[in-house]
Structure 1
Amino acid sequence: MKAFIRLYIDAYRGLSRPAWMLALVMLVNRTGAMVLPFLGIYMTQALNFTIREVGVVLACFGLGAVTGSWLGGWLTDRFGNFWVQTLSLLVSVPLFLVTPLFTSVETLAIVIYLLSVVTESFRPANSVSVARYARPENITRAFSLNRMAINLGFSIGPAMGGFLASISYHWIFYGNALGAFIAALIFIVFFAKRKGTVRHKSTDIKTTASTRPQSPYRDRAFLLFSLLCCIYAICFFQLLSTLPLFYQKTHALDEKHVGILLGFSGFVVVVFEMLLVHIAERRLSYATSIFWGTALCAVSFAMLPMPTGYWVLYASIFLMSISEILAMPFMASVAVQRASRQTQGAYMGLNALAFSTAHVFSPFLGTRIADSYGFGLLWWSTSVVLVGVSIGLYVVVRKM
């Protein structure tokens, strides 16, 4: 037991104060992130949209995420990560507040697109901040700390969102606005005088970025890696689109129980992420860790069609959370170490773009397959795709 506690403490040792503050900003922001997990249910229950119409609106969120990821990376390389993060948080506040005023498919799709552009431009800028304030040997753990904060917020936010949605769906939008505003205040107060003060060279995978400062869009190995990450994310992000609908329609769960299940996912990541990443850094290569993370995601979806009790839902989302822990931080580290300092924003922007593109295809494809062929075929096909992606990522990362 003492050895376990010591290992857990070691996982947090050596992380800088700015890294902890970035995590705090992310925690506050994500604690208020109540809209996306309930957006599909909101549209079907409050606005009476069909499943296909829900897929269209959620795909517009994904299109906005694609635009925001590219724009955020471009702006970060030109104006710095501080201003991009600050404006993203502040501008999102009024957008969240006015979103409930739009109730048709067309108008809601437009405002969700704009909201997504603004909120997702935060991601590449934040990733650059994490990379620049972390020591080279702690980059993966710094990303893990940030993601742990995201998931702690995600464990709290949906639970709060489920409670607020049971009163009125409008409150989830107001709660998201409040979280973004408080996060902006914390970020500005701590980082206003610290932007650009930390400098270090990035350590690279075999080919050093300093001798190869090319655009990520001409880096063929990284483009293939990003494509595979995108396919993984398309499968994984069913968690935010079709999975809540599956809970509601197949298992008859109400908003509160859906929120508890999604919150359980965040709780698992909070408890295990830093420890598992610390162990994986010592014992596994990037390729091996990403392979097992992707493979576990395949197993988690394969469990969903099992005709058993609620325990399968918790077991499935537990494995999905472990998948996230083993795969996503190391995917971000690959992007950081592949880039030079001059192209960090572009590389992190492309990395974010891969995941943002998934927000387009994940709900669009997921809702259509579920509507036409049922959730069972959706989960089995997702599992098969993930098995292929796990092998592809292993091969590509090893070659990189």
Structure 2
Amino acid sequence: MKRLFKIYIDAYRGLSQESWMLAIVMLINRTGSMVLPFLGIYLIDHLNFTLENSGIVLSCYGIGSLIGSSLGGYLTDKIGNFKVQALSLLLSAPLFAIIPLFKTLESACVIMLIISMVSMLFIPANSVAITRYAKKENITRAFSLNRMAVNLGFSFGPALGGFLSNYSYDLLFYSNAAATLLAGIVFIKFFYNRKERNEAAEENETVNENTVTENRSAYTDWKFIIFTIFCATFSIAFFQIMNTLPLFYNEVAKLSKTEIGLIMGFSGICIVLFEMLLVHWAENKFTITDILFYGSIVTAISYSIFGFTHALVLMYLAIFLMSIGEMLVLPFISTVTALSAGANNKGSYMGLNGLSGAFAFIVSPFVGTLIATKYNFDILWFGTAILLLLTAIGFKITVKKLIGNK
């Protein structure tokens, strides 16, 4: 027990005050992000959309994410991460509050596109801020701390969203808006006029001097582009957890909204409890290439379980394995991106990598709902597992060529 406690302490040691504050802002913001897991159910149950039409709306959310990620990376390099993060948070709050006014397919597509575009501006800017306030040796753990905050928020958010949606979807949207506004206020109060850590930028320049030139664009770095393609295939598969998986719980497994919120919240709890420990252990035992390879395989196994059984206890096991895979893949994707960028072009690299997730938000719900409708959910889960296995092979081939044996 003492040894385990020491490992936990070591995992958190050395993280800066700014890294902790960025995580707190993310926690507040993501605790309020209870809309997305229930958006498909809201569209079908409340607005009486078909499964295909709900997929179209969710894909519009992905299109907005695609635009926002690219624009967020560009604006971050031009005006700085503070202004972009503050703008995104303050504009997102009123947009979430007006979602109930949009009830037709066309209007729902428009508002989802705008909301996702504005909220996604935050992600590349926040990622750049993490690299600015973290020392070289703590970059992966700083990203893990931020992701831990994301998942702690997601563990609270869906569970709370499940309870709120039982009473009123409007209340769900208003709560999301209030949390986003609070996150914006906390962020501005702490980071306004706060100087970035110059040593972090200098250290990252040293790390990247043999990898990329100072002013090189991510969009001309072909090794990184190929890596980003495999990040996209992982995200297409993994993001089924946010769109088709809740529909599966609702329509096939016949879980209540409260049960759906709890099982999705379980994923966040697992990540909060184990991510920092697992990342600290993995980065000392394996190369980043191997971590991404094994993490993708574990995620593939988790999705295949849904195709074999609908037993509640085994669905919890699947979510646990999916959380392990997520913990092994997503923080190290961010690390590869940070190590591939120079000091002054991090925004473009973070933005391009963010496009992989944004692209997945377009493809994942549309393809997922299409396969589930034309065939069935079991075919979807087995297909998702196969895609993840191919992604594991892709990571094995590309990551070592990109950053070496780190």
Per the normalisation by structure 2, the TM-score is: 0.97
Task: Indicate how the Cα distance of structure 1 residues 67 and 139 shifts in structure 2: closer, same or farther if over 3 A, else same.
Answer: same
Aligned-residue offset at 1:203: 6.1
Cα distance in 2, alignment partners of residues 99 and 317 from structure 1: 30
Alignment of 1:255-266 (within 5 A): 255-266=257-268
Identify the residue that residue 13 of structure 2 maps to in structure 1: 13
Aligned-residue offset at 1:172: 1.1
Identify the residue that residue 223 of structure 1 maps to in structure 2: 225
Aligned-residue offset at 1:198: 4.0
Cα distance in 2, alignment partners of residues 377 and 93 from structure 1: 38
Cα distance in 2, alignment partners of residues 196 and 305 from structure 1: 48
The alignment status of 1:329 with 2:360, answered yes or no, reads: no
Alignment of 1:164-243 (within 5 A): 164-196=164-196, 198-200=198-200, 201=202, 202=204, 208-209=210-211, 211=213, 213-243=215-245
Aligned-residue offset at 1:233: 0.1
Aligned-residue offset at 1:342: 1.1
Cα distance in 1, alignment partners of residues 378 and 153 from structure 2: 30
Aligned-residue offset at 1:305: 1.6
For 1:348-379, what per-residue CA distance to the aligned partner results, in whole angstroms no more than 9, with x for missing partners?
00111111110000000000000000001000
Cα distance in 2, alignment partners of residues 25 and 248 from structure 1: 31
Contact 2:235–2:360 (CA<8 Å) still a contact in 1? Answer: yes
Contact 2:208–2:341 (CA<8 Å) still a contact in 1? Answer: no
Aligned-residue offset at 1:385: 1.1
Cα distance in 2, alignment partners of residues 319 and 218 from structure 1: 36
Aligned-residue offset at 1:394: 1.1
Aligned-residue offset at 1:239: 0.2
Identify the residue that residue 363 of structure 2 maps to in structure 1: 361
For 1:19-58, what per-residue CA distance to the aligned partner results, in whole angstroms no more than 9, with x for missing partners?
0000000000000111101000000110010100000000
Cα distance in 2, alignment partners of residues 393 and 205 from structure 1: 21
Contact 2:299–2:321 (CA<8 Å) still a contact in 1? Answer: yes
Cα distance in 2, alignment partners of residues 389 and 218 from structure 1: 22
Match of 1:279 among 272, 281, 285: 281
Cα distance in 1, alignment partners of residues 29 and 129 from structure 2: 16
The alignment status of 1:246 with 2:233, answered yes or no, reads: no
Alignment of 1:266-345 (within 5 A): 266-345=268-347
For 1:117-137, what per-residue CA distance to the aligned partner results, in whole angstroms no more than 9, with x for missing partners?
000010000000001000111
Which one-letter code corresponds to 1:237 in the other structure? F
SS at match of 2:308: coil
Contact 2:96–2:177 (CA<8 Å) still a contact in 1? Answer: yes
Match of 2:388 among 374, 383, 386: 386
Contact 2:55–2:369 (CA<8 Å) still a contact in 1? Answer: yes
Cα distance in 2, alignment partners of residues 231 and 31 from structure 1: 27
Cα distance in 2, alignment partners of residues 399 and 144 from structure 1: 24
Aligned-residue offset at 1:205: 6.6
Identify the residue that residue 154 of structure 1 maps to in structure 2: 154
Identify the residue that residue 62 of structure 2 maps to in structure 1: 62
Identify the residue that residue 90 of structure 1 maps to in structure 2: 90
SS at match of 1:305: helix
SS at match of 2:318: helix
Greater displacement, 284-293 / 202-211: 202-211
Aligned-residue offset at 1:212: 5.5
Aligned-residue offset at 1:281: 1.2
Task: Indicate how the Cα distance of structure 1 residues 57 and 169 shifts in structure 2: closer, same or farther if over 3 A, else same.
Answer: same
Identify the residue that residue 121 of structure 2 maps to in structure 1: 121
Identify the residue that residue 102 of structure 1 maps to in structure 2: 102
For 1:223-251, what per-residue CA distance to the aligned partner results, in whole angstroms no more than 9, with x for missing partners?
00000000100000000000000001111
SS at match of 1:251: coil
Task: Indicate how the Cα distance of structure 1 residues 312 and 75 shifts in structure 2: closer, same or farther if over 3 A, else same.
Answer: same
For 1:186-231, what per-residue CA distance to the aligned partner results, in whole angstroms no more than 9, with x for missing partners?
1011000215454422167786246453111111110000000001
Cα distance in 2, alignment partners of residues 67 and 212 from structure 1: 25
Aligned-residue offset at 1:18: 0.3
For 1:245-303, what per-residue CA distance to the aligned partner results, in whole angstroms no more than 9, with x for missing partners?
00011111111110001100100110000000001111111101111111111000110
Task: Indicate how the Cα distance of structure 1 residues 206 and 185 shifts in structure 2: closer, same or farther if over 3 A, else same.
Answer: closer
Task: Indicate how the Cα distance of structure 1 residues 131 and 37 shifts in structure 2: closer, same or farther if over 3 A, else same.
Answer: same
Q: What is the identity percentage for the equivalent residue pairs of Structure 1 and Structure 2?
A: 47
Contact 1:24–1:149 (CA<8 Å) still a contact in 2? Answer: yes
Cα distance in 2, alignment partners of residues 338 and 92 from structure 1: 30
Which one-letter code corresponds to 1:2 in the other structure? K
Contact 1:204–1:338 (CA<8 Å) still a contact in 2? Answer: no
Structure 2: gaps spanning 5 or more residues: none
Per the normalisation by structure 1, the TM-score is: 0.98
For 1:89-111, what per-residue CA distance to the aligned partner results, in whole angstroms no more than 9, with x for missing partners?
00011101111100011001000
Aligned-residue offset at 1:10: 0.4
Aligned-residue offset at 1:398: 1.1
Which one-letter code corresponds to 1:12 in the other structure? Y
Cα distance in 1, alignment partners of residues 85 and 126 from structure 2: 7
Contact 2:214–2:345 (CA<8 Å) still a contact in 1? Answer: no
Which one-letter code corresponds to 2:38 in the other structure? F
Alignment of 1:32-47 (within 5 A): 32-47=32-47
Contact 2:132–2:198 (CA<8 Å) still a contact in 1? Answer: yes
Task: Indicate how the Cα distance of structure 1 residues 375 and 210 shifts in structure 2: closer, same or farther if over 3 A, else same.
Answer: closer
